[in-house]
Chain A
Amino acid sequence: MELFERITRTSPDSPGDTDAPQGASGSTGGARPAEQNGWDNADDSAIIRIDHLSKVFASKTKTVIAVNDVSFEVKRGEIFGLLGANGAGKSTLIRILTTLLSPTSGQAFVNNYDITEDPEKIREIIGVCAQNYTSDSELTAYDNLEFYGKLENVPDSILPDRIWELLKMAGLADRAYMPVGTFSGGMKRKLEIVRAFIHRPLILFLDEPTIGLDPEARREVWQQIMMLNREHTTIILTTHYMDEAEKLCGRIAFVERGKLIALDTLENLRKLIPAGDLIEIGIDHMDAPVEENLRSVPLVNAVSVVEHKVTISATNGSQAIPSILAIFDKFQIPISSLSIRSPSLEDIFIYLTGKGLDNGNGEGNDTPGPGRRR
């Protein structure tokens, strides 16, 4: 009982080292929609501090640097997004922070406990939803939750109520006594997520929580995450879905091949792209002179052509459109579609890394993006 109380109620103050590596500050979150309250919850003390952390996996044939000299902080009460392509090192970072792996070098502190010296203390205050399924598929949903409740020291007096609460939250109450092996992927994942916070942890690690979920289930998971955050749970989320990070995260860290390449609020990250709006034009074919002409339009900052799509970044896009259309007209190139939007996280990611999230896997593409920074 005592332990449980301590986990849920106390939030010891850590020494206030508030400088985030990329110079973000709380005031920049003001423009965010009201529902994205992860940022509003955050006070400025760091709950996780990572200091020059590296992890090298060495085998006979190959040495892989999964995490390469990463330093950052996670503030108490925020929803922190860790973004990157598959194999970027997100899961390794999470495994180090959750004491499953030990770092090769560097230090990390979770709620002021050193991950290598006090792993037991850290395990008491964290909840983890791993990327792969870790529930026992031969046991029922109820049994799985009961098992973890006991391992997490949830008192027996409140455990059954808590289990039913979580099952209802996950929409699995009617399947409580069915083996998890019979569940669909989405149901398993939801069970996995609610299981991670059965003991109301101080910090919740979610590694790709919505992978493989249908849109409706994803929204439900997002609701749960936001609700938990309102209860002052600090959440560290890894994802490669940009919309998810945009919707949930107060601050976002981009990880690319084990390195931290940017960390800031979405608003501030947007400012990294010099040209505000993106104009996408669908075409049949493209001529080199057209590209030259487009670049000469005053408001246009950059032009790129991929197969049948021209992407133009332009300051104040709507004003640039007439002159752009005129050029296509002049060279008699028919336009099949046209759209204009502000840059998404994905655009920022592409801008920073020079490649998209879906095709980049840390191999092959060696050319850094135009604005690659450390």
Chain B
Amino acid sequence: MRGPLAIFKRDFKKFLSNPFIIMMTLFMPIMYLIVFGSAMGGTISHIPVGVVQEVPPYNDTPLFTSAAYQLNHISQGSENNAEKQLDVIIYADEAQAKQDLENGKISAVIVFPSSVSNDNAVRLYVDSSDSITPPLVEEAVTQVMLGLGAKNPIIVDKIYGDITYLQFFGVGVIMMAIFTSTMFGGGIALIKDRENGIHEGYLVTPVKRSSIVMGIISSGTVRAFIAGFTIFWIDLLITGIALQSFQDFLLVLLVILIACMGVTSLVVSFASRFSSQQEYSSVIAFFNLMLFMTSGAFYPVIGMPGWLRWITVINPEYYGIHALRSIILRNQGLNVIGIDLIALLIFSSVMIILGIVTFRRTLE
């Protein structure tokens, strides 16, 4: 029994000597519960939808007025403080509403016919690149029409065709590939060098702190790019999505590259403060969870509680996934993804500077 006891004692001593790891092991499941639970189980509210009155006639019909009013006042649950399900925006021009739908400003367009009749259908255009919100909108419209006693049929037009959850989620996996390859590539390599004393070797050479950080970030970016690019192809093969044009393909490459830069510089600037692989791994695993969960890869960001959406604002994966979905699933161009690219570039620059400033040039 001496052997097992000795090993038990040794392991336990090591465990107790590192309170940081103990804290992280307890912290992780709790965070999982809170973040995963909130990100996935949140009720979707405030879906932006556009409503339009078919022309002619050029003035609002009673059907349109009351339907629009009721749609805007559907609440979830019966409590007084329940959230509104839809945020109704009234459009005068059908073309303008469709334009906004295509650019992702609203999630659906509901076009009401001039009168209540069996012949005139309510036309519902939905952003089918998101497989979760369209059924909710459709249900809401059905409910309102029923309440008004209008028997008009509802025609649903999925503007991006049938997009499965697999296709929706697949784009998120590209981002995940980038993050994991960076986590193990740039970050761990940096700390391994530190642990193995390789740093001690080259910190006495004239190489600058900025050169070290830039070198590591660029090699990490290329590695992450290879990973992201490979997963992109695999994703296309598995989910059966076809890109619409060569320009889309180039845009995808651009987004993957910039996203790689952003994520790599985040990880490297983080890793440059750690000296133990174990500590780094537990922290980065936590980051991986937070960033991936709040990126909208699994579930539309619109369904997340407000506090979680704040994380989304500073999450590079969110912008990466949004841009990739815009190109791959919705065939949108720079006018839509431009803001994502700018956000990613700002994020990368801040992280590179942070990495250079915080990189420890001494062994202390």
Contact = CB atoms under 8 A, between A and B. Distances in A.
B206 A132 contact: no
Interface in A85-101: 95, 98-101
B362 A152 contact: no
Interface in B311-360: none
B364 A102 contact: yes
A99 B201 contact: no
Given A128-B204, A148-B205, A151-B205, A101 B362 contact: yes
B198 interface: yes
B238 interface: no
Given A100-B204, A123-B206, A136 B198 contact: yes
B363 to A, nearest CB: 5
Nearest to B202: A151
Interface residues of A, number: 24
Contacts of A100: 200, 203-204, 362-363
Interface string A108-136: 00000000000110011010101011111
Nearest to B207: A151
B161 interface: no
A126 B204 contact: yes
Contacts of B207: 151
A153 interface: yes
A130 B201 contact: yes
> Which size bracket describes the interface of B in this complex?
10 to 19
Contact of A120 (B196, B201, B206, B364): B206
Nearest to B201: A134
Contacts of B361: 119
A98 B204 contact: yes
B201 to A, nearest CB: 3
A204 to B, nearest CB: 11
B197 A130 contact: yes
Interface in B185-237: 193, 196-208
Given A95-B363, A99-B362, A132 B204 contact: no
A134 B201 CA distance: 5
A128 B206 CA distance: 12
Contacts of B363: 95, 100-101
B206 to A, nearest CB: 5
Given A124-B206, A148-B205, A152-B205, A134 B200 contact: yes
B364 A132 contact: no
A132 B362 contact: no
A299 to B, nearest CB: 51
Contacts of A99: 203-204, 362
Contacts of B201: 128, 130, 134-135, 148
A148 to B, nearest CB: 7
A47 to B, nearest CB: 17
A132 B198 CA distance: 9
Contacts of B198: 134-136
Nearest to A130: B200
Contacts of A120: 206, 208
A116 B197 CA distance: 22
Contacts of A126: 204
A95 B200 CA distance: 9
Contacts of B362: 99-102
Contacts of B196: 137
B364 A151 contact: no
A137 B195 CA distance: 13
A267 B149 CA distance: 114
B359 to A, nearest CB: 14
B173 to A, nearest CB: 30
Nearest to B364: A101
B364 A133 contact: no
Contacts of A153: 206
B197 A152 contact: no
A152 B202 CA distance: 9
Nearest to A199: B205
5 contacts: A102-B364, A126-B204, A132-B197, A134-B197, A151-B202
Interface of A: 95, 98-102, 119-120, 123-124, 126, 128, 130, 132-137, 147-148, 151-153
The 10 closest A-B pairs by CB, nearest first: A134-B201, A151-B205, A128-B204, A151-B207, A123-B206, A124-B206, A98-B204, A132-B197, A100-B363, A134-B197
Given A100-B200, A133-B197, 20 more contacts: A95-B363, A98-B204, A100-B203, A100-B204, A100-B363, A101-B364, A102-B364, A120-B208, A123-B205, A126-B204, A130-B200, A130-B204, A134-B197, A134-B200, A136-B193, A136-B198, A147-B202, A148-B201, A148-B202, A153-B206
